Amino acid sequence: MASHTSPWSGADEKGVRQPLKVGGTALLALSFQTLGIIYSDIGTSPLYVLNGIWPSSGPVPSPEDVVGGVSAIVWAMTLIPLLKYVIFGMHFGTKEGEGGTFALFHGIFPPRPVDYDEDRALTTDSGWKTPSSSSAMSTRSILGRSKWFLLAWALFGTSLTFADGMLTPAVSVTSAVGGIALTVPSLTSNIGPISIGFIVALFLIQRFGTAKVSVLFSPVTFIWLTVLFITGIYNVVSYPGIFRAYDPSRAIMFFVRTGQYDLLAGVLLAVTGCEAMFANLGQFNRLSIQLSFACFAYPALVMAYLGQGAKLITNGNEVISNVFYTTIPGGAGSGMYWFVYVIAILATLVASQATITATFSLFQQVINLRSLPPVRMRYTSETIQGQIYIPSINWVLCVGTIIFVVIFPDTSRLTNAYGFAVATVMFVTTTLIFIQIPYVKQRSWLFAVAWLIFFGFIDGLFWGAAIRKVPTGAWVPLLIGSVLTIFMVFWTWAQGLEDEFDGANRRNLRHFISKTITEKVTYSPTSRPPRVVEFAEDEITVAKSAETPEISDGQDSEDITETIQLYLDTGDQEKVPLPRMSTMAIFHKLSSGKGVPHTFYGFLKQWPALPRVVVFLSVRIMPIAHVEKEEQYRINKVRSLPGFYGATYMKGFRDPFHIDVDAIVALITALELRAHDSMEEAEKVNAEIRTAAKSTTHIVPHYHVIARRIIILGAPVINWFRRVLIEEVYRSISYVFPETVTWRQAPDEIIHVGVTAGI
């Protein structure tokens, strides 16, 4: 094997991606970047939260009600974003450093570990199953029957985050732009078109990537949060009694006194964006998020709500129309007002960035774990693999956001939809962490139950208030989440069946290809007939001719000419001879494991001929931006069958997908030089290899799936549904989204070999 081990940066000794670890000034810089990506969503909530509790068209609340409502906001901020997510939740990301609902499921049911060397083993018994630890087996035995339910539950949370990615720009941008109505009432009817213009601009810049966007957005968020903190202090002076909001009993008495449980849906708007913090974990790291939120974002937001509450108590009639803009020092039309107005619009664009990047991160996880069809992803950072841009998802989000702005001109209906999505994802996260505590973190069941009771109760309160808003707008994310979840569960199921078929039918190369070696031995002046050496799998037998003469001492040395013939064993009595063509074929293995893919056997049955050089190639994306050229390929040679090689292409996540045939040929020829005793013989073989490599074809397996019939109670109905789902839906979509959709290879170099697969 030609290989060289390199210490992958950001990975363990097996090349597995690890969470980013930084310290010192690098940690401070990363923490500053989080401001522009993560906190703007939750940071722009002061624009609309208090009016979400007390609408501008309603009466001015009493001072005690204001203190109680602000108390509910302060404690919601403390218990959910700070305690649940930043202090505890950040510890439940995957080993690769990813966060979010699907990452939690991934932690409970981790995928099979990757063995790079196993991919190049072509002549050993294949198999998918790998010995598991006792703890993993225990997890499977207890949770096995719940796996599909938990998968659907996790995907539902992921789907709602996708809906959140459309609702956040719609709510935030329209709320910020709406402030112009206070000074220029004639523009009220133009708020929607103006908002759409800002939204389109936001999605246009996504292609520049998280790092570059954060360079622009982080200073904006820093200024925005600083303004909130300063104006909060300025407003608190007008009514210092607002600090009574730190007493949690004020919040409880507020709901007891008013009896309006629905007001909790307005309080929920204060914590929107907390799930984005968790989902964006893969874009940064745990410590940078904890540092920036606890030390900067949280104090600024709490002070902003306290200041707004103080002004609502002292100037209720003047403030109730738009609590945020009317509490700006200097009043409407002042220089400070316009400065804050501009910063608010910029901040809401940044707020939208938080959920957009969170959506990219979640879809990367879902696509990599084969729960969605493959789409092209662009890695935008040289150091952080989680920072990506997905063009197709970006434009779907853009169109969806514009549709929401158009069909929901009333922002109250938008906030209803927004709150439901956030509350549901929060509840999904709580339940999955509850399962992770004993099974993944190996902590006490008592701690897990305490977690579920405490945070489940809080999330349940918010979810109950949000679900009451289904008739008035919350049905939108519910519909989006349900449809997307059904599709992702279906795709996971169908892909699992195909992978299971692929693993069960992967074959040992020597089980269906055999060879005979004919050696023609020439003597001078006497010659004897050739002897035949037959290789059948691993056994070697030598058959001598009965008429072979004995050779006496002193006779001239023998001259041996060796001819090798390969055969395809189809299971019939007669084997099919396989002539060799002076070409090179790269057979792509689309899944990991020992042996050769079933499609190679199908290829030989359709075209019973072998290229002179046959390479079975696996592709692995490494957790670094770029892999040095000399490190990209690892090659194994099948010694008993000439011309067969196993290869692994190890590319950095920012390297373009391009198979370097010259590099592969160079490693193969180096292997052949070491494999032959005679330099002359090795050069002869290498000359044939170089000639064959001038005509190289990439051969990609493709399964033409059919639904196999099952025999159980109700089989006719079940078989009909399976046939429709597999043969009509899955087959059609898999044709549209082939595995090669992300390749940079020229289409005329790729041959798709179809094999019927009963799944």
Among the residue ranges 137-141, 330-334, 477-481, the one predicted with the least confidence is: 137-141
Of the residues 561, 576, 591, the one at which a domain ends = 576
What integer is the mean pLDDT of 536-564?
Answer: 46
Distances (CA, A) of 388 to 97, 280, 394, 701: 15, 11, 11, 28
Q: For residue 10, give the nearest of 517, 654, 704, 747 by alpha carbon.
A: 654
Highest mean pLDDT, choosing among 13-17, 474-478, 568-572: 474-478
pTM beyond cutoff 0.85: no
Task: Say if residue 320 is in the same domain as residue 247.
Answer: yes
- What is the Cα–Cα distance from 321 to 303, expressed in whole angstroms? 21
Q: Residue 555: pLDDT band by 50, 70, 90 thresholds?
A: very low
Residue 304 lies in a domain: yes
Among the residue ranges 124-133, 222-231, 334-343, the one predicted with the least confidence is: 124-133
For residue 94, pLDDT beyond 80 = no
Of the residues 540, 559, 576, the one at which a domain ends = 576
Predicted confidence (pLDDT) per residue in 4-21, tens digit: 333 344 444 444 445 456
Task: Say if residue 447 is in the same domain as residue 394.
Answer: yes
**7: which 2 tokens?**
């210490």
Task: Say if residue 566 is in the same domain as residue 621.
Answer: no
Residue 9 lies in a domain: no
Q: Which residues contact 121 (CB under 8 A, 6 or more apart)?
A: 594, 595, 636, 646
Task: Say if residue 467 is in the same domain as residue 526.
Answer: no
Task: Say if residue 673 is in the same domain as residue 551.
Answer: no
Task: Say if residue 528 is in the same domain as residue 483.
Answer: no
* Stronger pLDDT, 384 or 634, i.e. the higher one: 634
Compute the CA torsion angle 621, 622, 628, 634 (nearest 10 deg).
-70
Radius of gyration from C-alpha coordinates of the chain = 32
Strands 610-622 and 580-588: what pairing? parallel
Residue 115 lies in a domain: no
Residue 2 lies in a domain: no
pLDDT at res. 542: 34
pLDDT at res. 8: 41
Residue 5 lies in a domain: no
Residue by residue, DSSP assigns 589-600 as --S-SSSB-HHH
Task: Say if residue 167 is in the same domain as residue 230.
Answer: yes
- What is the Cα–Cα distance from 697 to 748, expressed in whole angstroms? 9
pLDDT at res. 528: 46
Task: Say if residue 77 is in the same domain as residue 221.
Answer: yes
Across all residues in the chain, what is the average pLDDT? 79
Q: Which residues contact 267 (CB under 8 A, 6 or more apart)?
A: 49, 53, 69, 72, 73, 76, 462
> Phi-psi bin for 569: left (phi > 0), alpha (psi -120 to 50), beta?
beta
Any idea what the CATH number is for the domain that residue 380 is in?
1.20.1740.10
* Half-sphere CA count of 208, side-chain side, radius 13 A: 13
- What is the Cα–Cα distance from 105 to 111, expressed in whole angstroms? 11
Tell the burial category of 467 from Cβ atoms under 10 Å away from its Cβ (0-12, 13-18, 19+).
middle
pLDDT at res. 73: 96
Q: Domain total for the chain?
A: 3
Residue 422 lies in a domain: yes
- Give the 3-state secondary structure of residue 698: strand
* Half-sphere CA count of 312, side-chain side, radius 13 A: 33
Place of tokens 């523009």: 187
Predicted confidence (pLDDT) per residue in 78-89, tens digit: 999 999 998 998
Residue 132 lies in a domain: no
What integer is the mean pLDDT of 631-658?
Answer: 86
Write down how long the chain is.
759
- What is the Cα–Cα distance from 176 to 52, expressed in whole angstroms? 14
For residue 194, pLDDT beyond 60 = yes
Angle in degrees, CA 52, 57, 58, rounded to 5: 80
- Give the 3-state secondary structure of residue 461: helix
Angle in degrees, CA 562, 565, 570, rounded to 5: 160
For residue 591, pLDDT beyond 80 = no
Handedness of CA 321, 325, 326, 327 (dihedral sign): positive
For residue 452, pLDDT beyond 60 = yes
Task: Say if residue 190 is in the same domain as residue 41.
Answer: yes
| % of residues, the chain, pLDDT over 90 | 23
pLDDT at res. 206: 77
Task: Say if residue 388 is in the same domain as residue 521.
Answer: no
Task: Say if residue 348 is in the same domain as residue 449.
Answer: yes
Predicted confidence (pLDDT) per residue in 222-258, tens digit: 999 999 999 999 999 999 999 999 999 999 999 999 8
Task: Say if residue 532 is in the same domain as residue 623.
Answer: no
Domain span holding position 478: 24-108+151-502
pLDDT at res. 600: 86
pLDDT at res. 743: 60
Of the residues 576, 594, 613, the one at which a domain ends = 576
Residue 710 lies in a domain: yes
